[in-house]
Amino acid sequence: MAHQDHGHGGHGAPVEAPPEPEVPETQGSLFNVVREKAEPLRKFVGGGYKDTQLWKSVFRHKLDDSHRNRSLAVLSNVFLHLHPARLNRDAVRYNFTWGMGGITFYLFVILTITGTLLMFYFHPSKGQAYKDIMYLQHDVPFGNLLRNMHRWTAHAMVITTWIHMMRVFLTGSYKPPREFNWNIGVLLLLFTMLLSFTGYLLPDDQLGFWAVTVGTNMARATPILGHEGPLGPELGFTAFNDVRFALLGGSVVDANALLRAYIWHCIAIPIIAAVLMIVHFWRIRKDGAISGHAPVMLESEVK
Amino acid sequence: MSNDPSKAAVAAGPPPAAPRKVDPAALRPRPPRAKEPAPPLDDKTRGDLARRAFIWHGTAGFITLLLVCFARFFFPRALFEPKTRFTIGYPSDYGFGVDTKWQQKYRIWVCRNASGLFVIYARCTHLGCTPDWKESESKFKCPCHGSGFDSEGMNYEGPAPKPMLRCHLEIDPTGQVVVDTLKLYDYDNAPLRFKDAPPSNKGPLLAV
């Protein structure tokens, strides 16, 4: 296989051919042929794909350990750019932040994915809803897995939201200039609870039915807006025009209530919560990152 | 980075309009820096990298597994659709002409002519709508694009390219007719079955 350069070496004495390399017995075997043919593929999978234009168009930075490159890697990625390009290492200590805000957000992402998938089998109509849940649990491939992922993640998200709130309170992170973000957070907590509550009715089982019956009965006593609350009757509210009626789409928990719970749960509240989350995360950055000092502002710049 | 408001006010003013002087040497391409070989990694760094790779591969593998599960999720095992194989009663229940009583449930018409009993699958051969049986005109008329078929399913007007298909029929041990809508007979490709071949007790045309 050795190639000799006759262009230069062919004039003088004949060049002695190098000894033929010893051919292993397996050289011509099928295994070796396959290995030889598959070599480009092996190289590609083993890192060669990073040399393609496709890969480079997506990931534009080397892994150089320089400040500039590390900043660029974060700033040029839409997902990473939520993070600051650089931050104080003490600001991300878990024993200070507990990581609860981020965990809550990840749980929300899981809920969005699993919830969207569950929607493919769920009809929000009386009678059919419960059948669909049974169908999901007992027959649809991985339906039980998805339903339980959604259910347990939902429980976890309520818990982590509360713990996040507690941490923010204990570390005094509600104080200026973060007081606005605290209020956004309170709204997010409210919408988390509402997501949990509206999801409760969707299986249309006895548990959810009576939970929502009890929950919406409390809405009767809403001040001013409820027909059993202070000033409610005086303002002309009855069981057929008060806030409970608006929630249920009727005076009892029935088909309209199921459909309303479904739409609030799957569309309206997630959109509202997502918008609030955008504001929440953005303000975290602007108010001095997840923990740490508030940004320095001149007195003339402060309203 | 001064907190002095007076200095900050000065810095916030408009910049001086002096032209920038550029050193021409700075514009020349620099010779590439010699690359130094990377120093060997110590044990701690190697351990960190191994742990990072383990976590990363584990997470990616887990998510990939979930995605496979979720893809499988889209293919249910049980369906709540009309049966494709069912009985429609005894042959003597059906007289000459077209019977539309199974159209809503099974999408078929049960027909009888001089040759015997046959079942037309109620699907227009143009784009798949369900035609209507017009008793007074003795024809099937598709409401979508106006295809017309005679009482044996032969197309004679409109865009339908061929006659409607016929279902497989059998007589079960109790003497009832079993229809299979998944096993269809193409009129054009099997004219013998309908026209010349003697009707049997199995196939598109029953001699009952």
**Is the pLDDT at A26 greater than 60, yes or no?**
no
Provide the ipTM.
0.70
Mutate to test the interface with B, among A298, A299, A301, A302 (most CBs of B within 10 A): A298
Within 8 A of A141 by CB-CB distance, chain B residues are: 69, 72-73, 75-77
- Residue of chain A whose alpha carbon sits nearest to that of B69: A142
B77/A146 CB distance under 8 A: no
Q: List all residues 6 or more positions away from B207 whose beta carbon is below 8 Å from its beta carbon.
A: B115, B116, B198, B199, B200, B201
Q: What is the pLDDT of residue B71?
A: 93
User: What are the tens digits of pLDDT across the range A96-141?
Assistant: 889 999 999 999 999 999 999 999 999 999 999 999 999 999 999 9
Size of interface A-B (CB pairs under 8 A): 34
Residues of B with CB under 8 A from a CB of A: 3, 5, 8-9, 69-70, 72-78
A298/B77 CB distance under 8 A: no
A299/B5 CB distance under 8 A: yes
**Is the pLDDT at A87 greater than 90, yes or no?**
no
Judge whether A189 is closer than 8 Å to chain B, CB to CB.
Answer: no
**Is the pLDDT at A16 greater than 90, yes or no?**
no
Compute the CA torsion angle A103, A109, A115, A119 (nearest 10 deg).
180
CA–CA gap between residue B65 and residue B39 (Å, rounded): 38
Q: What is the pLDDT of residue A5?
A: 47
B73/A142 CB distance under 8 A: yes
Q: Which of A120, A139, A300 sits opposite B78 (nearest CB)?
A: A139
Of A71, A70, A93, A104, nearest to A195 by C-alpha is A104
* Confidence tier at A7 by pLDDT (50, 70, 90): very low
CA–CA gap between residue B145 and residue B125 (Å, rounded): 11
| Chain-centre distance for alpha carbon A194 | 18
CA–CA gap between residue A170 and residue B101 (Å, rounded): 73
For A174, other C-beta atoms within 10 Å of its C-beta total 16
* Confidence tier at B191 by pLDDT (50, 70, 90): very low
CA–CA gap between residue B86 and residue B14 (Å, rounded): 88
Q: List all residues 6 or more positions away from A226 whose beta carbon is below 8 Å from its beta carbon.
A: A219, A220, A232, A237, A242, A243, A244
Quote the mean pLDDT of chain B. Answer: 84
CA distance A120 to chain B (A): 8
Q: What is the pLDDT of residue A226?
A: 92
User: What are the tens digits of pLDDT across the range A31-74?
Assistant: 888 888 899 999 998 888 888 999 888 888 777 788 888 888 88
Q: What is the pLDDT of residue B16?
A: 60
B5/A298 CB distance under 8 A: yes
User: What are the tens digits of pLDDT across the range B40-68?
Assistant: 888 888 999 999 999 999 999 999 999 99
Within 8 A of A110 by CB-CB distance, chain B residues are: none
CA distance B70 to chain A (A): 7
Secondary structure of residue B139 in the 3-state scheme: strand
Tokens read off for B165: 């298909």
Chain A 244-303, residues with CB within 8 Å of chain B CB atoms: 296, 298-300
Alpha helical stretches, state H, B33-168: 43-73, 103-106
Within 8 A of A136 by CB-CB distance, chain B residues are: none
Q: What's this model's pTM, rounded to 2 decimal places?
A: 0.73
A121/B76 CB distance under 8 A: yes
CA distance A140 to chain B (A): 5
Within 8 A of B70 by CB-CB distance, chain A residues are: 117, 142, 146
* Confidence tier at A17 by pLDDT (50, 70, 90): low
More confident residue, A148 or A2: A148
CA distance A238 to chain B (A): 43
User: What are the tens digits of pLDDT across the range B133-182?
Assistant: 999 999 999 999 999 999 989 999 999 998 999 998 999 999 999 999 98
Mutate to test the interface with A, among B33, B70, B80 (most CBs of A within 10 A): B70
Q: Which helix (H) or strand (E) holds B150?
A: strand B148-150
Compute the CA torsion angle B169, B171, B175, B176 (nearest 10 deg).
-30
Q: What is the pLDDT of residue A295?
A: 77
Share of chain B above pLDDT 70, in %: 85
Q: Which of B3, B9, B76 sits opposite A140 (nearest CB)?
A: B76
A141/B3 CB distance under 8 A: no
CA distance A249 to chain B (A): 30
Q: What is the pLDDT of residue A47?
A: 85
